[in-house]
Amino acid sequence: MAVELQSQRHTVEDPSVAIEYCYEQGWAADGLPVVPPTEERVAQFLEATGLAGEAIVGEIPARARRISAEKLAINAVMAGCLPTYAPVVLAAVEALCAPEHNVNGSAASTGGSAPLLIVSGPIVSELGMHGGVNLFGPGNRANATIGRALRLLLMNVGGATPGVMDKSTIGHPGKYSYCIAEADDVRPREWQPFHSRRGLHAEASAVTVFAGEAPRYANNHHSNDAEGILRTVAGVMAGSGALNGGAYVVVLCPEHLAVIVRDGWGPERVCEYLAGEAQMSVAQLKRTGRLPDDPAPGDEEERRQAVGGPEHVLLLAGGGSAGGFSAVIPPWAGGRGSRPVTREIRV
């Protein structure tokens, strides 16, 4: 289809200065160089969305901001996305702007969370996305640029400028890009895909957006049974301080999964165990300054749960084959202000 762009055109005399020009205009909002959003590149990406440029794909009502398909395309191009990534970016923006996710609250908070994207389904292998070794680290174009596209959209269109809207006290590196995939070669054959436990068909592709803190290691190289490993994971969940019944993302590494699967534990049982075991006494919370006042009689017996139930444990497989390092990602604001949102990726 013929694509007509509505955005203002900018001209540079020499292509070699285009990147610096983008810096001068403030478009490289995350501080890293961007791919100059030429008319041809933006038109190709917009065409891949299947939408007219003026179509609204997401809104942030608290900021009176609307994200058009054309602005999505511009920022995705600047992030380094290929046109084939368009369905993932589009679904991610729809999930990000869902009212229950509360993007304005999480983006403006002093808590410093970032939108974590979890991509699952056939689209992962089709785009060459990564779910294995160095899962949260660099090295994969699709993971890195899809996550970055959301960050640039939040900053350039949503107004999430540090010190202006974004009041994060310390932030975390996921605010550059925070995108992972569940790969079929990492997930146990006995387990259903991540998105099927979020209400979608196993054959679908999906992206889940979660307002998350930085990953925390659940390091266990000693236990040779499922319960021992999961007790470590539950301890990290409880120790995060976000004991308000919100959702948690739990990424189990292959080394841990091999033991868990060998012992006959499925994902439902794992989630039930973690929901019950991830708890801490009110006395300990007071002693560590996460609740006010000194411990009172009965505080040792009173417990606070990290999650409200097994359905709030977002469990997936990921990471390299060597090393007993799983990961826990606590929720922003203890899970009180935002809920994870899953959207099907339409291809």
- Tell me the pLDDT tens digit for each residue of 256-277: 999 999 999 999 999 999 999 9
- Mean pLDDT, residues 45-53 taken together: 97
Model confidence at 100, pLDDT cuts 50, 70, 90, reads very high
Q: Among candidates 181, 157, 174, which has minimal Cα distance to 73?
A: 157
Mean pLDDT, the chain, rounded, equals: 94
- Mean pLDDT, residues 194-204 taken together: 96
Q: How many domains would you assign to the chain?
A: 2
Report how far residue 274's alpha carbon sits from residue 267's, in angstroms, rounded to the nearest whole number.
Answer: 11
- Mean pLDDT, residues 65-78 taken together: 97
**Do residues 6 and 69 make contact, with C-beta atoms less than 8 angstroms apart?**
no
Same domain, 119 and 265: no
Same domain, 64 and 161: yes
> Which pLDDT score is estimated for 1?
55
> Which pLDDT score is estimated for 40?
95
Location of structure tokens 């292509």: 15
Statement: residue 115 has pLDDT above 90: yes
Same domain, 238 and 130: no
Same domain, 178 and 235: no
Same domain, 105 and 160: yes
Residue 1 located in a structural domain: no
Same domain, 304 and 293: yes
Same domain, 268 and 319: yes
Residue 4 located in a structural domain: no
Which carries the bigger pLDDT value, residue 36 or residue 334?
36
Same domain, 203 and 234: no
> Which pLDDT score is estimated for 243?
58
Same domain, 182 and 234: no
Distances (CA, A) of 120 to 22, 130, 195, 206, 271: 33, 10, 6, 6, 19
The reported pTM is: 0.95
DSSP string of 94-142, one letter each residue: HHHTSTTT-HHHHHHSTT--EEEEEEESTHHHHHT---STTTTSS--HH
> Which pLDDT score is estimated for 281?
87
Residue 216, SS3 per DSSP: strand
Domain that holds residue 197: 10-213+335-347
Residue 249 located in a structural domain: yes
Model confidence at 250, pLDDT cuts 50, 70, 90, reads very high
> Which pLDDT score is estimated for 61?
87
Report how far residue 22's alpha carbon sits from residue 27's, in angstroms, rounded to the nearest whole number.
Answer: 5
